[in-house]
């Protein structure tokens, strides 16, 4: 007889990347909260049967919710979530303690105090570690400790867990009434060509979990991830549900196609004429330095060749993608397709984030890109969930 699934609630759930990964790992989500209506619509569409609330978390009565879920204090296995990170992202224009988004983690802790879950999972950007010289991270860890939790933190590279992009996330794990063993963080399953460009130590401790010498070298490439998706020309929409162009050629493609009826959210945005002209000069793996100076944006004409190495990039099919952001704007990363003269589609961005093809994104195309870019890669969440489940068991 299989064990009963571990039960959790997902706060600041976004479109549901964390829930998708934890569900695959054998957890059952009971409740989610997301303030953005378009993100919440996508969440509900892909997690039917879950009590998914669209509201400001500050207005939710946690004790009333616990009664509605027929739970007693200490019964739930996990509270997971990612409090908004823009305020303390290393990419934010201004990083300030006055940004109200920096204090929403206190709402997460309020739920922890009421529910007293067996475990806690918080994900965020690597910039959390260095924000205000570590004081925000220290406040989170101290608050969890004061609530009776052993806590620890690591920075995980998504590519080490089979996600084909250069993405890093800060992961905080708490266990009620016990110390956190190192095994609660998943071991990397492969080596990948990624390097941190942020502070990776906290209180003198190294936070990154690198692959060991015995880890396989075969990371998942962009071609492995999206090579079976239909070709499109710039601006092409086509059928709502498209057919795959071949049988799966990689296990990653097989995983993505599970339960899928076809290819959805696969429509090419229309690039400007000047971007189409620029693209003609960019080779796979190349970037803005391949473009003639006469076609460069004014600001890029003054840039050094060694700067902004991903801007106006055509992705290397045998390498990793740039971190998928809230829009695949070529001005900010290597988002040109490796052999088609267009930018990534929402489905290609979702594949690179490790969303399965049956996961459908709602809203406008701009909203869909934002949902994908702000999500936790489900495959990485799956590995974290499996490691935590072993410890909880």
State the Cα–Cα distance between residues 209 and 187, nearest whole angstrom: 7
Q: Do 47 and 32 contact (CB within 8 A), yes or no?
A: yes
Annotated active-site residue in 85, 151, 232, 375: 85
Taking the C-alpha atoms of residue 71 and residue 90, their distance in angstroms, rounded to an integer, is 38
Catalytic residue list contains 85:
yes
Q: Please, are residues 57 and 104 in contact by the beta-carbon 8 Å criterion?
A: yes
Give dist(CA 53, CA 60) in Å, integer: 9
Q: Is 266 left (phi over 0), alpha (psi -120 to 50) or beta?
A: beta
Coil/strand/helix, residue 17: helix
Give, in order, the Cα–Cα distances in Å from 168 to each of 45, 89, 111, 139, 161: 27, 12, 26, 22, 11
Rounded Cα gap, residues 380 and 386, in angstroms: 10
Residues with a known catalytic role: 85
């Amino acid at each position: 007889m299989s064990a009963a699934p571990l039960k959790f609630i997902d706060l600041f759930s976004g479109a549901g990347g964390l829930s998708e990964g934890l569900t695959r790992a054998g957890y059952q989500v009971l409740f989610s909260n997301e303030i953005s209506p378009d993100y919440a619509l996508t969440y509900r569409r892909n997690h039917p049967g879950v009590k998914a609330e669209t509201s400001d978390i500050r207005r939710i009565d946690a004790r009333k919710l616990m009664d509605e879920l027929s739970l007693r204090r200490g019964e739930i296995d996990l509270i997971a979530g990612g409090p908004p990170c823009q305020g303390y992202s290393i990419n934010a224009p201004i990083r300030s303690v006055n940004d109200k988004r920096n204090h929403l983690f206190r709402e997460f802790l309020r739920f922890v105090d009421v529910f007293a879950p067996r475990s806690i999972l918080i994900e965020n950007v690597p910039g959390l570690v260095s924000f205000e010289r570590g004081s925000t991270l220290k406040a989170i860890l101290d608050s969890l400790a004061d609530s009776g939790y052993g806590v620890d933190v690591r920075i995980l590279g998504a590519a080490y867990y089979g996600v084909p992009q250069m993405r890093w996330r800060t992961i905080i794990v708490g266990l009620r009434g016990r110390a956190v063993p190192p095994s609660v963080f998943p071991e990397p399953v492969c080596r990948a060509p990624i390097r941190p460009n942020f502070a990776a130590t906290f209180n003198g401790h190294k936070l990154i979990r690198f692959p060991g010498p015995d880890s396989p070298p075969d990371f998942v490439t962009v071609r492995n991830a999206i090579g079976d998706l239909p070709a499109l020309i710039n601006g092409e929409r086509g059928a709502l549900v498209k057919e795959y162009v071949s049988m799966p050629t990689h296990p990653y493609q097989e995983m993505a196609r599970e339960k899928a009826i076809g290819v959805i959210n696969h429509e090419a945005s229309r690039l400007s004429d000047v971007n189409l002209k620029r693209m003609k000069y960019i080779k796979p793996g190349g970037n803005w330095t391949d473009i003639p100076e006469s076609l460069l944006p004014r600001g890029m004409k003054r840039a050094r060749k060694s700067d902004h190495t991903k801007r106006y990039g055509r992705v290397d099919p045998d390498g990793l993608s740039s971190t998928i952001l809230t829009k695949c704007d070529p001005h900010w990363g290597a988002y040109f397709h490796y052999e088609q003269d267009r930018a990534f589609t929402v489905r290609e961005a979702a594949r690179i984030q490790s969303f399965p093809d049956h996961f459908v994104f709602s809203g406008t195309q701009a909203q869909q890109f934002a949902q994908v870019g702000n999500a936790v890669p489900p495959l990485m969440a799956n590995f974290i969930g499996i490691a935590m489940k072993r410890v909880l068991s």
